[in-house]
Amino acid sequence: MVERIRKLMEYKGLSASQFADGVEVPRAVISHILSARNKPSLEVVQKILAVHQDISISWLLMGQGDMLTALAVPVGGQKLLSEAITREKDVPDVAGLSTERDGNIQNSTSASGIVAKALALDKTIEQVMIFYSDKTFISYNPAQ
């Protein structure tokens, strides 16, 4: 599990102290886990999974499957966000489209709604950014 925690930290671009602060455990706890002095407790694992909800439980605990859950988007853009979103069953009606003067879409309640509205306006998605509660983010550029 130590290597998977290291891989998670690398994927998120976090140092050991940033990771510890993010999951709200003492820095020494993460240091001891990374040095193989201690194994992660159930409480630590639960905190990691609570903060990093895009990480697969099976992968973190047993190394099975992919690191990311099915709805997560890899930083490198290995999965097309727009494809995943537009495959959702309930794409909202775009009749009540609300835009600001500069054309930015506002008051959208779901990612699929944003994509549907952008497509209805004949716009091209240039960049998608997802911000997490632990103050990290990922950026996806479909054109690249």
Name the token pair of 103: 């054309």
Would you give per-residue pLDDT tens digits along the chain (144 residues)? 889 999 999 998 999 999 999 999 999 999 999 999 999 999 999 999 999 888 888 898 998 888 887 655 555 444 444 444 444 444 444 444 444 444 444 444 555 666 666 667 766 777 777 888 888 888 777 765
The answer, as to whether pTM is greater than 0.95, is no
Q: How far apart are CA 127 and CA 106, in angstroms?
A: 16
Inter-residue contact 115 to 80 (CB < 8 Å): no
Query: 131 in helix, strand or coil?
Result: strand
Query: 5 in helix, strand or coil?
Result: helix
Q: How far apart are CA 32 and CA 103, in angstroms?
A: 50
Query: 128 in helix, strand or coil?
Result: strand
What fold does the segment set 2-62 form as a domain?
434 Repressor (Amino-terminal Domain) (1.10.260)
Q: How far apart are CA 2 and CA 135, in angstroms?
A: 23
What local confidence, expressed as pLDDT, does residue 91 receive? 40
Inter-residue contact 58 to 64 (CB < 8 Å): yes
CA dihedral 86, 74, 71, 139 (to 10 degrees): -60
> Which candidate, 138, 22, 11, 13, places its Cα nearest to that of 81?
138
- The residue assigned the tokens 């988007």 is 73
Q: Which residues of the chain are in CATH 1.10.260.40 domains? A: 2-62
What local confidence, expressed as pLDDT, does residue 118 receive? 64
What local confidence, expressed as pLDDT, does residue 94 receive? 41
